[in-house]
A and B are shown apart, each in its own frame.
Chain A
């Protein structure tokens, strides 16, 4: 399957077929998720309606880590297996991961003010998430700084794999250090601690965000493949014009 998809033409064909379905599924799940959040899920007994921020904050945090893992796997694909689509996947994932990290940080800050009395605290979870955003921005800057795509991919791959050290730090920061941020309440040993009435809409929103992210990633990869075709054809045209002039 992976070998078949290594062919960009085959990937373009398959992703072109999948993308409308992915888009439809994302819209449907987002609609159901938002309906459940606003009309079904109860207010929290302590936080009141402010708990509604959780339904976007938590999926955004998960997707921030999810897209970093996609980039790290793609970085291995670039450096170890030299998979032709690995660096395309890496490049397409970076802005999406950065956007979800930004959403996570800002919504967390907006949730923190009414609940903790402050927008920001330099605790381990918040700080490691900010470091995650800075790594994403560094990766985006490096893609722009090196013009030749293969060289850029190798440099970005190394930076991505070094930055992957931050992923377990983000995940386990609430266990390793005494933080203002609450510990894990969904993915934990012993099962979730959230009531089903809140867990179900949260999971639906998380799946909806994931499908949106996957759709954007597929679309970004398709655009990057086209960009590389344009680059190759532009170089070929320049070579042909040079040969004619000579």
Chain B
């Protein structure tokens, strides 16, 4: 294998791992926002403990 292979593989892998972290962060954040909006639309709030 040439040195180009090792260099390219290193950069591609790094890009994929960082992109994976970014995509995971975005998907997770949107999922929590959706869940929160759903709960709030059902009238669940911090004040529901009082009544």
Is A230 interfacial (CB 8 A cutoff)? yes
A229 to B22, CA, bound (A): 22
Assess A226 versus B36: contact at CB under 8 Å? Given A50-B3, A56-B11, A102-B17. Answer: yes
Query: Can you list 30 residue pairs at the A/B interface with Cβ under 8 Å?
Result: A49-B7, A50-B7, A52-B7, A53-B6, A53-B10, A56-B10, A99-B21, A103-B18, A106-B13, A107-B10, A107-B13, A110-B6, A110-B10, A111-B6, A113-B1, A219-B29, A222-B29, A223-B29, A223-B32, A226-B32, A230-B32, A230-B35, A230-B36, A232-B46, A233-B40, A233-B45, A234-B39, A234-B44, A236-B48, A236-B49
Residues of A138-162 whose CB lies within 8 A of B: none
Mark A residues whose CB is within 8 Å of B: 48-50, 52-53, 56-57, 60, 95-96, 99, 102-103, 106-107, 110-111, 113-114, 212, 216, 219-220, 222-223, 226-227, 229-230, 232-234, 236-237, 239-240
Interface flags for B27-51 (1: CB within 8 Å of A; 0: not) read 0110011011001101011101100
Q: Give, as a whole number of angstroms, the nearest-CB distance from A153 to chain B.
A: 18
User: Does A223 lie within 8 Å of B9, measured CB to CB?
Assistant: no
User: Does A113 lie within 8 Å of B6, measured CB to CB?
Assistant: yes
Mark B residues whose CB is within 8 Å of A: 1, 3-4, 6-7, 9-11, 13-14, 17-18, 20-22, 24-25, 28-29, 32-33, 35-36, 39-40, 42, 44-46, 48-49
Residues of B within 8 A of A212 (CB): 18
A212 to B22, CA, bound (A): 9
B25: nearest chain-A partner, CB-CB: A219
7 residue pairs, one from A and one from B, having the closest CB atoms: A226-B32, A107-B10, A237-B44, A233-B39, A223-B29, A230-B35, A219-B25
Assess A237 versus B13: contact at CB under 8 Å? Given A212-B18, A226-B32, A227-B32. Answer: no
Interface residue SS majority, chain B: helix
Residues of A within 8 A of B18 (CB): 99, 103, 212
A107 to B48, CA, bound (A): 52
User: Does A216 lie within 8 Å of B39, measured CB to CB?
Assistant: no
User: Does A216 lie within 8 Å of B22, measured CB to CB?
Assistant: yes
A96 to B25, CA, bound (A): 10
User: Does A96 lie within 8 Å of B21, measured CB to CB?
Assistant: yes
Partner of B20, one of A56, A99, A220, A239: A99
User: Does A223 lie within 8 Å of B25, measured CB to CB?
Assistant: yes
A227 to B39, CA, bound (A): 12
Partner of B14, one of A107, A111, A234, A239: A107
Residues of A within 8 A of B39 (CB): 230, 233-234, 237
Assess A53 versus B28: contact at CB under 8 Å? Given A212-B18, A226-B33. Answer: no
